[in-house]
């Protein structure tokens, strides 16, 4: 059995059955292309933290009872708002929004009413006729609005220059295109109504966030695939200087991408923030395997072999290493599939299938295309040696061999010290998550959130979700008392800027001329409207919401602990009621911390299993031990970068470590495989090692450049999380290249010298 467990024989089968393989490939590609056209985009950031955890179940239950929180489009209007003409235009906007189809409610400063008079009549805070108001009158109106519990710190900034219009879409408007159509309609009204007022308007809220993420993903997909693919083609041509070689390498790459996208649809997956990089991953893996195969075939042609014999020999020599590298990358990605979060597990599965497809695409199609295309062209010279990139890569490989083999002890000590320092910095990284990192920096959605954080109580929310005892209505006096106590717990925390609950409605109503206790009838009459925000449709549940400036997970965890401690006292006093702290920010803070810890465990597991697998496949305990340092160093280096750049450990970066490790270990395997072949040609282990580095070095250089630039396209993403993935991947792959071209040969040299001394002493 070979190091590739015999999987390279698939390439030999393809070589012997070219017509059958060609027909199968065409059929599979057409079917996959059809399936790929049906792939959808996933934009709900709540899905990132979906799990079987109790926190997520509570959040889902709360959203089911209070769905408005998921369907709010928030228009953030800024400017000199307290001018007669501007206020009139804003009133018009409010009324026009109310009249839109599929809009359940609109909440703004025009929703604010004065407390009732003695007859229970209500009057709007902003009068219908603004003409009698002078500058002092408008200033007084602004102060009245800021004193209103619905408005203060929620809908109007203290300086009166920013106001929110909260447009609640009907719960049935969930399909992405329906959401887009409705948001576009809202945007159109805003533009039409406010043009000429000097006011600016931006849109945020969950529906707008969904659209922003999908638009960014669609843009990224085009750039990653097109730019990455043409970078790979250009570098392949630059290295080989033959169009025929480029065709042989590129066609399996393109085919594998189509197969992978079709497989995603077949498995019921969608394109989201992290699965968006899977096609790019398949592309660079296919390019890497294809380059190794093509390099070996070109060398064989240079040695005088026929095209068929050269291709067959390349499959036999390089195929086992390609199979093993595919297996190690697949295992690294499968380690993510055991994380108890469907979002991450789904990505791990998609990536593992993609890595497998990348191998099958090359092992089946490379022999077929190589024989078909190369038989039609003349020449046996290794063209890469005559171009400047060929000369440069050969020269660099020889220098690397001279350094690593000439000074193995120094290289090893420096690498070990560097690994220790970087590992310490990796472990010092704090965990970090902020949902804003899912949004483009210059997007309306993010700017709107940032303006709310800067001028109002904040865009973050934490809610106390109350369910009254069986048979007790949420409007009962006992319920109102419990709601008031829960609100005090929230309001007492210094992180919470302001709160909102049914108690605020009671306080507002009874601050007028109606007698104390008269609010109950008003609440009963307006139950349906209140059910949108503070009372559940079941009649027994109530929501107390606290607002705070958006913060990362590390800052929120102490807040959550303080609030839970405060609510424990309330739970003890009201054992029959169900009192739960919830909200997306809470779930994200707790889940992201746990997720990063689980991802670190899966990364450690992947490293251990894959390094052991290398030893098993190569039947060498030495290979296992010698693989450790060259593959731990790149991960530690990436962790040090995160620490020094203040990114911290995010789930995206740990995923990038896992993927990059799975790819980086490929170079280790190819180095061992080439060393095995060279050892068969010479009895001098040092000479064999020198030939290994100088022969394999050029293709390692060009394949690393393809990997770095291919995955490097992700740094052009509009989404910060995807960009971070790109930064980490590029750094880890570059560090892995130097570890495999310098450190691994140094370790092999030390091991060879130790074995020679041991044999001489016998």
3-state secondary structure 194-223: HCCCCCEEEEECHHHHHHHHHHHHHHHHHH
Mean pLDDT computed over 590-613: 87
Residue 470, φ and ψ in degrees, nearest 5 = -50, 130
* DSSP string computed for 702-760: HHHHHHHHHHHGGGG-SSHHHHHHHHHHHHHHHHHHHIIIIIHHHHHHHHHHHHHHHHH
pLDDT at residue number 530: 67
Q: How many CB atoms lie within 10 A of CB 472?
A: 16
Mean pLDDT computed over 402-425: 93
**Cα angle: 521, vertex 522, 524; to 5 degrees:** 65
pLDDT in tens, 557-572: 999 999 999 999 999 9
Cβ neighbors of 212 (< 8 A, separation 6 or more) are 439, 440, 443, 444, 445, 446
Residue 106, φ and ψ in degrees, nearest 5 = -130, 130
pLDDT in tens, 225-281: 888 888 888 888 877 778 888 888 889 999 999 999 999 999 888 887 778 888 888
pLDDT at residue number 31: 94
* Local structure of residue 124 (DSSP, 8 states): B
Instruction: Please return the burial class of 683, using the count of CB atoms within 10 Å of its CB with bins 0-12, 13-18 and 19+.
Output: exposed
Edge to edge, the sheet with strand 103-107 lists: 103-107, 162-169, 72-78, 200-204
Q: Where are the beta strands (DSSP E) in 93-161?
A: 103-107
Q: How many CB atoms lie within 10 A of CB 527?
A: 15
Half-sphere exposure of 727 (CA within 13 A, CB side): 17
511 vs 733, more confident: 733
Cβ neighbors of 347 (< 8 A, separation 6 or more) are 272, 274, 275, 278, 336, 655
Q: Where are the beta strands (DSSP E) in 34-146?
A: 72-78, 103-107
pLDDT grade, residue 388 (50/70/90)? low
Instruction: Please return the burial class of 187, using the count of CB atoms within 10 Å of its CB with bins 0-12, 13-18 and 19+.
Output: middle
pLDDT grade, residue 344 (50/70/90)? confident
pLDDT at residue number 594: 84
Task: Please name the residue that has the structure tokens 């390692």.
Answer: 700
pLDDT grade, residue 762 (50/70/90)? low
Strand partners, 464: 544, 581
Kindly tell me if the per-residue pLDDT of 379 is higher than 60: no
- Can you give the pTM of this predicted structure? 0.83
Cα–Cα distance, 531 to 172 (Å, whole number) = 17
Mean pLDDT computed over 655-665: 85
pLDDT grade, residue 679 (50/70/90)? confident
Kindly tell me if the per-residue pLDDT of 1 is higher than 70: no
Residue 350, φ and ψ in degrees, nearest 5 = -60, -40
Structural domains of the chain sorted by starting position, each given as residue range(s) with its CATH number in brackets: 1-38+241-384 (1.20.1640.10), 71-210 (3.30.70), 387-443+585-762 (1.20.1640.10), 450-584 (3.30.70)
Q: Residue 89: name the closest of 192, 194, 165, 185 by CA.
A: 194
70 vs 587, more confident: 587
pLDDT at residue number 491: 92
User: Tokens for 80?
Assistant: 């000199």
Cα–Cα distance, 377 to 373 (Å, whole number) = 7
pLDDT at residue number 378: 54
**Cα angle: 577, vertex 579, 585; to 5 degrees:** 160
Kindly tell me if the per-residue pLDDT of 380 is higher than 60: no
pLDDT at residue number 576: 92
Cβ neighbors of 186 (< 8 A, separation 6 or more) are 73, 75, 97, 100, 167, 203
Mean pLDDT computed over 478-495: 92
Q: How many CB atoms lie within 10 A of CB 422?
A: 23
Q: What is the mean pLDDT of the chain?
A: 86
pLDDT at residue number 11: 86
First to last CA, the chain: 32
pLDDT grade, residue 390 (50/70/90)? low
pLDDT at residue number 133: 80
Query: Residue ranges of the alpha helices (H) in 338-443?
Result: 342-374, 388-406, 408-427
pLDDT in tens, 183-238: 999 999 999 999 888 889 999 988 898 888 888 888 888 888 888 888 888 888 87
pLDDT grade, residue 642 (50/70/90)? very high
Kindly tell me if the per-residue pLDDT of 381 is higher than 60: no
Kindly tell me if the per-residue pLDDT of 489 is higher than 90: yes
Task: Count the residues in the chain.
Answer: 762
Cα–Cα distance, 337 to 719 (Å, whole number) = 23
Kindly tell me if the per-residue pLDDT of 372 is higher than 80: yes
Half-sphere exposure of 534 (CA within 13 A, CB side): 25
Question: What is the widest separation between alpha-carbon atoms in the chain?
Answer: 110
pLDDT at residue number 376: 67
Strands 460-467 and 541-548: antiparallel
Instruction: Please return the burial class of 507, using the count of CB atoms within 10 Å of its CB with bins 0-12, 13-18 and 19+.
Output: middle
pLDDT grade, residue 3 (50/70/90)? low
Strand partners, 545: 463, 500
């Amino acid at each position: 059995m070979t190091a590739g467990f015999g999987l390279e024989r698939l390439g030999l089968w393809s070589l012997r059955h070219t017509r059958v393989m060609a027909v199968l490939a065409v059929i599979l590609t057409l079917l996959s292309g059809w399936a790929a056209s049906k792939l959808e985009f996933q934009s709900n950031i709540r899905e990132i933290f979906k799990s079987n955890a109790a926190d997520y179940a509570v959040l889902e239950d709360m959203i089911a009872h209070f769905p408005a929180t998921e369907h709010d489009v928030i228009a953030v209007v800024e400017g000199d708002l307290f001018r007669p003409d501007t206020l009139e235009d804003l009133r018009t906007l409010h009324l026009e929004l109310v009249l839109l189809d599929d809009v359940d409610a609109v909440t703004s400063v025009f929703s604010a009413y004065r407390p009732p008079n003695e007859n229970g009549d209500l009057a709007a805070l902003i009068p219908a006729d603004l003409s009698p108001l002078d500058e002092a009158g408008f200033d007084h109106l602004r102060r009245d609005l800021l004193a209103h519990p619905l408005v203060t710190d929620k809908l109007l900034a203290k300086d009166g220059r920013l106001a929110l219009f909260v447009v609640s879409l009907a719960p049935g408007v969930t399909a992405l295109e329906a959401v887009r159509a409705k948001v576009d309609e809202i945007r159109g009204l805003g533009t039409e109504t406010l043009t000429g007022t000097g006011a600016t308007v931006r849109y945020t809220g969950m529906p707008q966030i969904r659209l922003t993420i999908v638009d960014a993903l669609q843009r990224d997909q085009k750039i990653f695939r097109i730019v990455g693919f043409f970078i790979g083609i250009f570098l392949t041509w630059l290295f080989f200087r033959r169009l025929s070689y480029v065709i042989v390498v590129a066609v399996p790459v393109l085919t594998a991408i189509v197969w992978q996208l079709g497989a995603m649809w077949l498995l019921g997956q969608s394109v989201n923030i992290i699965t968006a990089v899977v096609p790019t991953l398949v592309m660079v893996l296919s390019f890497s395997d294809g380059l190794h195969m093509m390099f070996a075939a070109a060398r064989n042609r240079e040695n005088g072999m026929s095209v068929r014999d050269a291709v067959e020999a390349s499959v036999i020599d390089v195929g086992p290493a390609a199979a093993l590298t595919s297996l190690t990358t697949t295992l690294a990605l499968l380690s993510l599939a055991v994380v108890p979060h469907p979002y991450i597990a789904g990505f791990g599965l998609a990536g593992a299938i993609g890595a497998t497809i990348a191998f099958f695409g090359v092992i089946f199609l490379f022999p077929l295309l190589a024989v078909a295309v190369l038989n039609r062209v003349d020449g046996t010279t290794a063209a890469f040696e005559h171009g400047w990139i060929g000369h440069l890569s050969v020269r660099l490989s020889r220098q690397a061999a001279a350094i690593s083999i000439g000074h193995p002890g120094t290289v090893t000590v420096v690498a070990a010290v560097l690994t220790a320092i970087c590992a310490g910095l990796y472990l010092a990284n704090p965990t970090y998550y902020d949902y804003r990192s899912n949004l483009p920096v210059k997007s309306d959605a993010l700017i709107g959130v940032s303006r709310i954080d800067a001028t109002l109580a904040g865009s973050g929310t934490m809610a106390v979700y109350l369910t009254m005892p069986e048979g007790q209505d949420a409007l009962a006096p006992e319920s109102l008392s419990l709601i008031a106590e829960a609100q005090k717990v929230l309001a007492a925390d210094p992180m919470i800027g302001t709160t909102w609950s049914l108690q605020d409605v009671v306080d507002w109503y009874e601050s007028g001329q109606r007698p104390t206790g008269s609010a109950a009838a008003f609440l009963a009459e307006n139950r349906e409207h209140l059910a949108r925000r503070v009372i559940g449709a079941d009649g027994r549940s109530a929501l107390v919401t606290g607002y705070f400036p958006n913060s990362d997970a590390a800052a929120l965890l102490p807040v959550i602990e303080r609030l839970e401690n405060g609510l424990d006292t309330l739970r003890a006093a009201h054992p029959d009621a169900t009192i739960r702290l919830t909200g997306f920010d809470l779930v994200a803070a707790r889940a992201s911390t746990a997720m990063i810890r689980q991802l670190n465990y899966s990364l450690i597991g992947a490293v251990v299993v894959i390094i052991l697998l290398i030893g098993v496949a190569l039947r060498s305990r030495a290979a296992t031990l010698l693989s450790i340092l060259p593959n731990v160093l790149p991960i530690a280096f990436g962790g040090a970068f995160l620490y020094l750049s203040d990114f911290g450990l995010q789930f995206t970066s740990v995923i990038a470590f896992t993927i990059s490790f799975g790819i980086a270990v490929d170079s280790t395997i190819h180095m061992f495989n080439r060393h095995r072949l060279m050892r068969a040609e010479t009895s001098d282990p040092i000479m064999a090692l020198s030939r290994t580095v100088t022969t394999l070095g050029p293709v390692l250089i060009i394949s690393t450049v393809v990997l770095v630039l291919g995955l490097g396209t992700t740094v052009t993403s509009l989404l910060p999380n995807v960009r971070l993935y790109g930064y980490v991947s590029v750094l880890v792959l570059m560090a892995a290249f130097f570890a495999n071209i310098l450190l691994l040969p140094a370790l092999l040299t030390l091991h060879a010298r130790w074995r020679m001394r041991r044999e001489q002493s016998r």
